[in-house]
A and B are shown apart, each in its own frame.
Chain A
Amino acid sequence: MPTFSQFNKTFVPGSQVHFSSLPERARSIQGLSAGFTSRLIAVFIDIALVALLVLSAWGGWEALRYILNVFYTLPALLGVPLLIIGYLLMWLYWTWSWSIGGRSLGNILMGLRVQRRHGENLGLGLAALRSAFSVVFALGLLWSIFSSKNKSLQDVVLGTEVVFDWAPLLPKVDMTFSMEGDKSEKDEN
């Protein structure tokens, strides 16, 4: 157990406490590039989320139609329109979630984060591009099996990466106490 003076000598503002908010067993993998399986599961979770959303909206719409229409006809199978809506929704959802924090629901559950090469967040434009690429050519994820840096085709082209980031988004103490706002911003990166 270090004394305060020992602690203070090795202290880098923000970093240690932020790091210690991780579960101990996850510290060794924090920030490393995530492998294929984790990412695949995350993608499946996202797809399931969007599918659930689309199907329940469609079911709701049909239920409404059933209530309002006296002569209810069973719906024709709306495979293609639903698929298009699903793709669109998927694109919007990934764009939104990657641009604001690098995490979609699947990423959150699997402890992953999409980031640029030096850890910065994807901007809205880059997130939209990556999202579109992922929606159109989801098989690009397969490249992460072979890439030595676990990069999917999208990552290689757009210069992004997916890392393990289990950190719950606790505010850093340094940010809470610091008088200079720009200092804590600098420490974050």
Chain B
Amino acid sequence: MVYESDERETWVEISLDAPSETSALQSVVSTATSVGSGALGLARFATETSIYMVTESTKAITKSILDTVVPVAVNAIVSRIDINEIVKEHVDVNEIVAQADITPILDRVPMAEIADYVIEEIDLPSLVRESTGGVADGLLGTIRFQAIQTDNLVSQIVDRILFRGTKRADAREVSVDHAHI
């Protein structure tokens, strides 16, 4: 505000003076002008700097106050209300889920693992076996187990004769309960 009026005065002086009134006056005026504008610039710089500093420090102080206060305040508020309850009351979850794109979710789902899990849980292989194997599988299993038990008998005798430390039959010992269906 202050320097604007100064400027106008200077401008008026220059414009009203007659051109004939010599270079001395002109040099005085120009010196005065440059000194004036320098002073003005300095004043302006000082003002702007101080305004800037005040603004920034205010911002910083506000920010740090908010940073400390807001979490505490929000926490205090949130801990006093049941957000789940609010969401249940005011939000239609099904509506939101219906809008969700399911494809990327399914891409993240381990399908093969789930399939294996289900097969494991319902024991699908045994269902297949029971429905297709029947009597033949049971008979075959019995014959195989009898052969294995004879294997073990032979190995036991030979291992004992040869004084073997590790017995072959121990590894493939099959419990007798299992050998019959």
Contacts and interface: CB of A to CB of B under 8 A. Distances in A.
Nearest to B115: A173
B61 to A, nearest CB: 49
B123 interface: yes
- Top 9 nearest A-B pairs (CB, nearest first) are A35-B151, A25-B178, A21-B125, A177-B112, A37-B150, A38-B147, A7-B117, A37-B151, A29-B172
In this complex, which of B120, B150, B158 has the most chain A Cβ atoms within 10 angstroms of its Cβ?
B120
22 contacts: A1-B121, A4-B113, A8-B110, A17-B119, A17-B120, A20-B119, A25-B141, A25-B175, A26-B141, A28-B172, A35-B151, A35-B154, A37-B147, A37-B148, A37-B154, A38-B150, A146-B162, A148-B166, A168-B129, A173-B116, A174-B116, A178-B112
B125 A7 contact: no
Interface of B: 110-117, 119-121, 123, 125-126, 128-129, 137, 140-141, 143-145, 147-148, 150-152, 154-155, 158, 162, 164, 166, 168, 171-175, 178-179
A35 B152 contact: yes
Prevailing SS type, chain B contact patch = helix
Nearest to A108: B140
A111 interface: yes
B126 to A, nearest CB: 8
